[in-house]
Structure 1
Amino acid sequence: MLFYYIFLIFHIFSAMIWVGGMIFYVIVVMPVIRNPELKDQKLRLLQLTALQFRNISYYVFSVFIVSGIGLLYNKGYFYSNGTLLTTNIGYMFIAKIGLFIILFLSSLYHDFVTGPKTFIYLNTDPVQYERYRKTSAFYGRFNLIISLSITILGILASRGFSLF
């Protein structure tokens, strides 16, 4: 039972860092860099904060994976011959894992394709810059929505409530 609580604490703290970081980015960082006084520094500030959050994100993803597997193991999902996964709560965990995979892949694309290309085309190709800026913004919002959905599913499943 001790390991269950350790995994749970790490899982919750990781969710707090991930979701809280994304919300902080949206409600604090983005409005600040839109301030006209920061016109000359705004893109550099955006780039540096994005790189810092990206570095933290993949540590957080690692903790999610390890703690999530540990939680499922401690709940008995690995040695139940799959019968627990066919319950309503099991479906919630499957949905949560599926959304996490989508989030992870979307984050990889956002962090290593659209985000960097936005800054590459900043001074060389305004059309491509705008295209990648919009795409990167879309994936950022998409990731926030998926993250909030995963969080809500986790809270509901932990309380024994199922949407299925």
Structure 2
Amino acid sequence: MSLHILRISLLIHILSAMLWIGGMLFFALIVAPFLQTISNPHERSNIYHTVGKKFRLWGWVAISLLLITGWLNIYLMGVPLTAIFNPAFYNSSFGMALGVKLSMVFLIVITSFLHDFIYGPKAGSEQRYSIIARWFGRVNLLIALVIVFLAVSLRLGGL
């Protein structure tokens, strides 16, 4: 029974990561370059804001599912919650990879919140907010790719 739940949880986890990271890549590689072809800065800002707001909903659905299934996966793979809070756990290759991944997840949730709810909505009003939001977006994508690397490392036994 728990193997079936783990299989479903892993599937939801991977699909959620695909949605979130794929969306960030689509934004960076397709939407942003396209918007540079629009000469009217007000129109460009409106489109960016509208697309960003629509993606934000699905991005946070994905983040929520990743957090829920991530903890469920840890539990179903036999890692007791007490191990997460035991410094000795992080002496193993698996523990080290999981610890770094959990730290990166914590960091990306904070930076995503700042990007999506603090700086992103203000990006159209002031240039400095636009620059900060752009950098948070880039940093989030980089952190997400590091998390994927760590996830692969975990499946192979650790770092």
Distance 2:53 2:89 in 1: 37
The 5 Å alignment of 1:106-125 reads 106-119=111-124, 121=125
1:58 aligns with 2:57: no
Deviation at 1:42, TM superposition (A): 1.7
1:46 corresponds to: 48
Deviation at 1:161, TM superposition (A): 4.0
Equivalent position amino acid for 1:22 in 2 = M
Alignment equivalent of 1:16, drawn from 15, 18, 30: 18
1:125 corresponds to: none
Name the count of aligned residue pairs.
153
1:11-61 CA-to-partner distances (Å, cap 9, x unmatched) read 111111111110011110011111136766321110111101111111111
Alignment equivalent of 1:132, drawn from 129, 133, 158: 129
Q: Check 1:161–1:64 CA distance in 2 against 1; reply closer, same or farther (3 A cut).
A: same
1:159 corresponds to: 156
Distance 1:58 1:19 in 2: 12
Q: Check 1:118–1:40 CA distance in 2 against 1; reply closer, same or farther (3 A cut).
A: closer
1:122-154 CA-to-partner distances (Å, cap 9, x unmatched) read xxxxxxx11111111111111011011001110
Contact 1:8 1:71 in 2 (8 A): yes
The 5 Å alignment of 1:80-99 reads 81-82=82-83, 85-86=89-90, 87-99=92-104
Contact 1:10 1:63 in 2 (8 A): yes
Deviation at 1:85, TM superposition (A): 3.3
Contact 2:95 2:158 in 1 (8 A): no
1:65-121 CA-to-partner distances (Å, cap 9, x unmatched) read 111111101111126x527933211221111111011000001111111111222x2
Contact 1:114 1:136 in 2 (8 A): yes
Contact 2:101 2:150 in 1 (8 A): yes
Structure 1: gaps of 5 or more residues: 122-128
Distance 1:34 1:14 in 2: 29
Alignment equivalent of 1:147, drawn from 141, 144, 148: 144
- TM-align CA RMSD: 1.8
> Taking every aligned residue pair, what percent have the same amino acid on both sides?
26
| TM-score, normalization by structure 1 | 0.86
